[in-house]
Structure 1
Amino acid sequence: MKLVSWNVNGIRACVKKGFLDYFSEVDADIFCLQETKLQAGQIELELEGYNQYWNYAEKKGYSGTAVFSKILPLNVTYGLGEEEGEPEGRILTLEYEEFYLINVYTPNAQRDLARLDFRLSWEDRMLQYLKELDKNKPVILCGDLNVAHKEIDLRNPKSNIGNSGFTFEERDKFTTLLENGFVDSFRHFYPNQEGAYTWWSYMNKVRERNIGWRIDYFVVSERMAAKLIDSQIHCDVMGSDHCPVVLEINA
C-alpha cells in the first residue's frame, strides 16, 4: 500500500502547476493534502477510483485538509470532536480495517510565537487523541506537523533555535510523541541522512540551494514498524513550497 502526504499550499494553485500529473504518476492508494485553502464548491477534481473527503476551514482561503482514498473507509471523522480548532479544518481521521489514518495540518506558532501556547495545547490534545485511537488499532499520522525535530532536520539549525517550528517546546512535544509508542518513519529508515527536507522558503534560490526544513511526516504506531517498506521524500516534485512525502507499507 502506498500513502502520500503533501502540503499543497493552495490546491487550486497547485493544480495549475502539475498536481494532477504527479497524482496520476504516483498512483497512491491514499493521498492526503494539507493547506487546501478553499471552501466547498470552489474546485472539482475528477479523480477516478478515489473517494474524496474534505475538511474546510471557515475562514476563506485558509488552512484545510483533504484525503483521496481508493479504499472505502469504515468511518470518517472531522476534527477532534472539540469546538476549539474545528473551524480551521486541520484534522481528518479515516478508519480502515487495519489502522486509523490521521491527516493533520498542525498550527504554526507564528513568527512572533504569538500562537505558541495554542500550538502546545494542540499537541497535548493530539497526543491524547492518538493514544486513544492506538488502543483500538494502529495509527498512521501524516501531514505538515510544522516542526523540525532535530538539528539534522533543517539546514541552519543554530540560527533558527527558538524560531517557530524549532522552539525547544515544539521539539519536545514531538519527542514526547515518539516516546509514547510512535515512530518517525523516515528516520526509521534513514536515521543519519542529512539534507532531507520537505519545505523551502520562497526566497530567491533557497530551494535550488536546498536550504530547507523537514516538517512533513509519516508517523506510525511502533507495532506497525515491521510492516514498513520505505519512507520517501519526493523533493524533485514542484508545485508548492512543500514537497510530497510517501510511505509504503505491507497491508
Structure 2
Amino acid sequence: MKLVSWNVNGLRACCKKGFLDYFKEVDADIFCVQETKLQEGQIDLDLDGYHDYWHYAVKKGYSGTAVFSKVEPLSVRYGIGVDEYDCEGRAITLEFENFFLVNVYVPNSQRDLARLSFRLAWEDKLKEYLHELNQVKPVILCGDLNVAHQEIDLKNHKSNNGNSGFTDEERGKMTDLLASGFVDSFRHVHPDQEGAYTWWSYMNKVRERNIGWRIDYFIVSEGMAPMIKEAAIDSQVMGSDHCPILLELA
C-alpha cells in the first residue's frame, strides 16, 4: 500500500503548478493533503477511481484538509471532537479494515509564538484522540505537524532554537507522542539521513540550497513498524513550499 501526504499551500494554486500530474504519476492508494485553502464547490478535481473527503475551515481561504482514497473507508470523522480546532478544518480520520488514517494540519505557533498555548493544547487533545483510536486498531498519523523534532530535522538548528516549529515545548510534545507507542516512519527507515527536508522558505534560493525543515510526517503505531517498506521524501516535486512525502507498507 502506498500513501502520500502533501501540504499543498492552496490546492487551487497547486493545481496550476502540476498537482494533478504528480497525483496521477505517483498513483497512491491514499493521498492526503493539507492547507487546501478553499470551500466546498470552489474546485473541480478529476480524480477518477478515488473517493474524496474534505474538511473545510469556517474561515475562507484558510487551513483545510482532504483525503483521496481508492478504497472506500468503513467510516469517516471530521475533526478531533474539539470545536475550537475543528472549525479550522484541521483533521480527517478514515477508518479502514486494519487501521485508522488520521490526516492533520497542526496549528502553527506563529513567529511571535502568539499561538503556542493554542498549539500545545491541540497536541494534548490529538494525543488523547490517537490513543483512543489505537485501542481499537492501529493508527497512521500523517500531515504537516509543524515541528522539526530533532536537530537533524532542520538545516540551521542553532539559529532557530526557540523559534516557532523548534521550541522545546513543541519538540517535547513530539517526543512524548513517540514515546507513548508511535514511530516516526522516516527516521525508522533513515535514522541518520541529513539534509532530508519537506519545507523551505520562499526566500531567494533557499530551496535551491536546501536550507529546509522536515515538518511533514507519517507516524504509525509501533505495531505497524515492521510493515514499513519505505518512507521517502519527494523533494524534487514543486508546486508548494512543502514537498510530498511517501509511506509504503507491506
User: Normalized against structure 2, the TM-score is what?
Assistant: 1.00
- What is the SS of the residue equivalent to 2:62? coil
In structure 1, distance between residues paired with 2:215 and 2:94: 22
Q: What amino acid is aligned across from residue 8 of structure 1 in structure 2?
A: V
Q: Quote the residue 2:170 is aligned against.
A: 170
Deviations 1:68-89 (A, max 9, x none): 0000000000001221211100
- Partner residue of 1:78? 78
Amino acid of the structure 2 residue aligned with 1:133? L
The amino acid of 2:75's aligned partner reads N
State the identity %: 72
Q: Which amino acid aligns with 1:140?
A: I
Match of residue 190 from structure 2: 190
Report the Cα distance in structure 2 between the residues aligned to 1:45 and 1:147, rounded to whole angstroms: 30
Partner secondary structure for residue 83 of structure 2: coil
Unaligned regions of 5+ residues in structure 2, if any? none
Deviation at 1:14, TM superposition (A): 0.2
RMSD: 0.4
**Aligned pair 1:62/2:57, yes or no?**
no
**Equivalenced residues, count:** 250
Q: Which residue of 1 aligns with 2:138?
A: 138
The equivalent residue for 1:121 is 121
The Cα shift of 1:20 comes to: 0.4
| 2:200 counterpart residue number | 200
Measure the CA separation in 2 of the matches of 1:107 and 1:48: 31
Give 1:98's aligned amino acid.
N
Cα-to-partner distance string for 1:25-71 (whole Å, 9 max, x where unaligned): 00000000000000000001010000000000011100000000000
Residue of structure 2 equivalent to 1:6: 6
| Amino acid aligned to 1:102 | V
How far off its partner does 1:19 sit?
A: 0.4
Tell me which residue corresponds to 2:41: 41
Deviations 1:152-186 (A, max 9, x none): 00000000000000000000000000000000000
Give a deviation string over 1:213-235, Cα, whole Å, max 9, x none.
00000000000001110000000
State the alpha-carbon separation in 2 of the partners of residues 148 and 27 from structure 1.
Answer: 28
2:244 corresponds to: 244
CA–CA separation in structure 2 for the residues paired with 1:225 and 1:61: 36
1:53 aligns with 53
CA distance in 1, matches of 2:114, 2:6: 26
> 2:30 is matched by which residue type in structure 1?
I
Secondary structure of residue in 1 paired with 2:121? helix
Find the aligned partners of 1:62 and 1:224 in 2 and give their Cα distance.
33
Q: 2:80, 2:200 → 1: CA distance?
A: 29
- Partner residue of 2:218? 218
Instruction: Tell me what 1:102 maps to.
Output: 102
* TM-superposed deviation, 1:92: 0.2
After TM superposition, the score normalised by the length of structure 1 is: 0.99
Given residue 180 of structure 1, which amino acid in structure 2 is its aligned partner? S
Deviation at residue 247 of structure 1 after TM alignment: 0.2
Aligned residue identity for 1:156: N
Structure 1: which 4+ aligned runs deviate by more than 6 Å? none
Report SS of the residue matched to 1:136.
Answer: coil
Q: In 2, distance between residues paired with 1:134 and 1:197?
A: 28
